[in-house]
Structure 1
């Protein structure tokens, strides 16, 4: 009786361990690819970052236009943005839909945004926009540096055909209509 109980317990633990290993493999691959994407932005390698974006996204925004947007955002002389920290939140178990795997990935970036070169009116508008987007508790103005420190909570959809190499689409409610052209309804419902 003891032997059967021990054998059952061993099989159960093996099954649970195997299931968790599979989830961790997906998590690790998503984290690795998302880290590469964020580091590409951080080091101002915008073309490299654009290559991390889900290719179907370029049916909504042209690849060249996306490159310009990222360059204007992260290589802007009026507002220098420094990506300081990447932290991962919950990563959903990938779901197979139409021969592609989709996983909603929550993460946050600590951004330092230097606004010294802006005039007072532009700084006021920037302050309002940042608070509106990220919430008052996530935006701090460092007067001595003329910079904002922003804890930017983000959500992305990781997409893969093989569960090894993942591409990303940043998920924001205000772009849900456009994203409906490229993402399954099941994914959009989670935004």
Structure 2
């Protein structure tokens, strides 16, 4: 019984000191964000740079989940769009780091948002061969039946990417075979003196 009382007292004491700990953590996070913003030439979390890219988009593109979280805490505009109609989740999907993707969807971004070119995150991931991002987005409810203006779905785009990859590998393989054949036919030079 004494152990339970001591544990409850300890928790009560910790609870009283938590607001100060939270203030310290928040101050460090604000300082860290301020340094990050300055290093990337942003005056504040609400600004944007060339092509309408916001700090949140840039942090998401680089997979900097800690900065994404801090920017969201500072009220960075989560639904801001760049000049092509892409939001921060688009940039997070380019990087493929799960943390920012999950955080931005939790912040309210629509997993099926289409940009100004009517391309969704899932399509963009597919067209870039990011199968890991495709799996994550589908598991989070992204629709695989949406169609791009060219009539292709995300799965069509992934198939096209895979085909291009196979053709490239085949060309490389054939090129290596040809170059090794030329090397076999070339006269040997003794480099030793």
TM exceeding 0.5: no
Structure of greater relative contact order (alpha carbons < 8 Å, 6+ residues apart): 1
Would you tell me which structure has more helix in proportion to its own residues? 2
TM-score by length of structure 1 reads 0.32
TM-score (norm 2): 0.31
Q: Tell me which protein shows more strand as a share of its residues.
A: 1
